[in-house]
Amino acid sequence: MIDIKLIRENKELVKENIKKKFQDEKLPLVDEIEKLDIEYRECKKKGDDLRALKNSKSSEIGTLIREGKKEEADRIKEEVSRYGTELEDLGKREEKLEFEIKNKMMNIPNIIDDSVPIGENDTFNVEIEKFGDPIVPSYEIPYHADIIEKLNGLDKISAGRTSGEGFYYLIGDIARLHEAMLAYARDYMIDKGFTFAIPPFMIHSSVVEGVMSFPEMQAMMYKIEGEDLYLIGTSEHSMIGKFKDQIVKETELPITMTSYSPCFRKEGGSHGLEERGLYRVHQFEKQEMIVLCRPEESMEWYNKMWKYTVEIFRNMDIPVRQLECCSGDLADLKVKSCDIEAWSPRQKKYFEVGSCSTLGDAQARRLGIRAKGAHGTFYVHTLNNTVIASPRGLIALIENNYQEDGSIKIPKVLQPYMGGMKVIEGRK
């Protein structure tokens, strides 16, 4: 949510930003908010003036009674009573206007950074840099689900019986490899000075509305029937929510945390071949990182964070690239975002394995997260980034470390988490 001062002082900037995000249907909201805000401030001023007058008149009553001027005191009492009724009506009107303004403001997209490329959808995203050489071996690399099944590591048939499409069992060495990746990612972030956390996996609607836009929420989140609870789609949701309505000391910034959680997403629609594999699933696990910092430090942290993900994947012998998200591909709360994509030697192309975003103070405004320092109180900036998400990360690992005999080479950084194992052997 942007600062309403932007609409008061520079509404054309807000409108231009909406156009850059190809959301012209939201343009009328700016004028509507401006009109409601004028009415709200007039209502508030009238209430403040009337409250001051009521207090002044009320203080006269005691004096008049002591002076024996009962009739005049009674007249002022009636006057004060009318002021009270009028103030009650003004208070209700003020509350209604505040609610309407907030609801409309929640739909205004955040102001994007000047460096964001302009484009309507993800086809306009821009490759910034590649890390590692994308290699296609001389031998064929089978579909990842077939590789894992031959290693007795995947059972989607049983998962279909227990849970339906979009679920899976990982078994044996593959399940262990999956957890090794997450454990390595966790320890990597701890070594970078991040505090490890395991958060709640369900959150209230007030937190959901604070961390993401309405369209995102409706497309992604599972709601618990009969409860004000949603299953998290990423631990960023509950980790940022941890600071809801809090004022932290400026000296405590930056707050850097890394969190593990299962994640739950609707992932609707059919995706052809990938539907039977592990690309589109309703449940997965992820190591996440979040940062709360001073506004002037957010871009520096943004560049640090996505580079951590690159280093982790390169340490597992996986080529990756950074893809800058264009304006039309940015969620409404984001100021700037990029995807980290891993190389798929089977598909001979890159695919998304993580996303890094800076959201400015949008989440902090929605959730009331502030910092207090020597120069006053201010809204913090929030950032989030995928350290590693599996099974997508697992797919990248398997394809890039697949050997001609059907075995999977285990990168050195993961071997300590696999009991020293160097290779997952193919079925004899």
pLDDT for residue 275: 57
* Residue 360 scores a pLDDT above 60: yes
Q: Quick check: bond before 254 cis, omega within 30?
A: yes
Where residue 220 falls among pLDDT bands split at 50, 70, 90?
Answer: confident
What domains are there in the chain, each with its CATH number?
5-105 (1.10.287.40), 122-424 (3.30.930.10)
- 284: tokens are 């997965």
* Residue 426 scores a pLDDT above 70: no
Where residue 279 falls among pLDDT bands split at 50, 70, 90?
Answer: confident
Helix (H) or strand (E) holding 285: strand 283-293
pLDDT for residue 270: 43
Return the number of other C-beta atoms located less than 10 Å from residue 338's C-beta. Answer: 25
313-328 pLDDT, tens digit each: 999 999 999 999 999 9
Give the contacts of 58 (CB within 8 A, at least 6 positions apart).
80
Is the CB of residue 354 less than 8 Å from the CB of residue 249?
A: no
Closest of 322, 88, 272, 290 to residue 189, by C-alpha: 290
Mean pLDDT of the chain: 92
Break the chain down into helix, strand, coil percent, rounded to 5: 50, 20, 30
* Residue 269 scores a pLDDT above 80: no
Where residue 135 falls among pLDDT bands split at 50, 70, 90?
Answer: very high
pLDDT for residue 427: 59
Closest of 266, 256, 255, 258 to residue 232, by C-alpha: 266
Where residue 276 falls among pLDDT bands split at 50, 70, 90?
Answer: low
Alpha carbons 173 and 148: distance in angstroms, whole number: 10
Where residue 273 falls among pLDDT bands split at 50, 70, 90?
Answer: very low
pTM of the model: 0.89
pLDDT for residue 272: 45
* Residue 70 scores a pLDDT above 50: yes
* Residue 271 scores a pLDDT above 70: no
**What does the DSSP 8-state code read for residue 412?**
G
16-69 pLDDT, tens digit each: 999 999 999 999 999 999 999 999 999 999 988 888 887 777 777 777 777 777
Helix (H) or strand (E) holding 14: helix 5-20
Q: What share of the chain in percent tops pLDDT 90?
A: 78
367-417 pLDDT, tens digit each: 999 999 988 999 999 999 999 998 999 999 999 999 999 999 999 999 999
